[in-house]
Amino acid sequence: MEVATATEASAPAASGGAAGQGHPFPWLDAAISEPYYFLHLLAFFSYFAARSAALSADDGGELHDRLLRREIQAVLVFLVLFVVKGLLLAVTLVIDWWLAFAYFLGFLVIYAVAQQPPYDGLGHSNHLTPLQLESLLTEEPTSRFWLVEFRTSFSAKCVQASSILPELSIVYSNKNISFGTIDLGHFPNAAAKFGISMWDHLPTYILFDKVTEVSRFPEITSESKVFVPKVTKKLLCQHFDLDRRLIGYLST
């Protein structure tokens, strides 16, 4: 394996320092700092301006009653489904079809220009650099097996699947198997070392038995270049035999 640079070695320290400075309201910090959440909040609160303008132009008061009933219905749906976008579209349909259509287009634009941030929970997994992974696999490994996710923060598929490995690690992590993630966006030179394309088949999951690769998903075959199934917890469990490995560990 290649010798890692000083940037790789210093990355954990930098990330650890940032993680140590906890914000008392992390959701508020994310709502302001992440464009994806901020633009959604902006679109949501703009509804109240549109509502006020529509009611001021309504002389008979009929719109107020209809709007109030629909808002109550939408709030109930929101409490059940937690769908803010559905709430906005439902109530704006009462005001004007074109306004609802404008919100629909607005959400499409937000989706196009502001990507949802990845899941920031770790579970029992670890953020790794290529240098750290090399050390864990070669220098007296603490676990025989390592299941490692290789991803990038600019890939929509990686963002959508970012919660899967941490959730799996909570159930299947033990002294025999550990879980980790490597962001290839920070270490692009490591992609070729592990036989991973930066533009195809991300995220990639590789199971190591010490320094030996046991299995990977997606597999490098001609069929996988045509179709790659959606990554799910069930799929990874079956592909890497996580249930069998856990039962084998518990029975020893």
Q: pTM score > 0.75 for this model?
A: no
pLDDT value for 3? 38
What mean pLDDT, rounded, does the chain reach? 78
pLDDT average, residue stretch 63-80: 67
What are 17-50's pLDDT values in tens digits?
444 445 555 666 766 777 777 776 787 778 778 8
Angle at 9 (CA atoms; ends 8, 11), nearest 5 degrees: 65
Kindly tell me if the per-residue pLDDT of 223 is higher than 60.
no
Which residue ranges form the domains of the chain, and what is each CATH number?
A: 26-113 (no CATH), 126-250 (3.40.30.10)
Instruction: List, edge to edge, every strand of the sheet that includes 126-127.
Output: 126-127, 177-183, 145-151, 204-209, 212-217
Percent of the chain with pLDDT over 70: 72
What are 108-163's pLDDT values in tens digits?
776 666 666 677 788 899 999 999 999 998 887 678 899 999 999 888 889 889 99
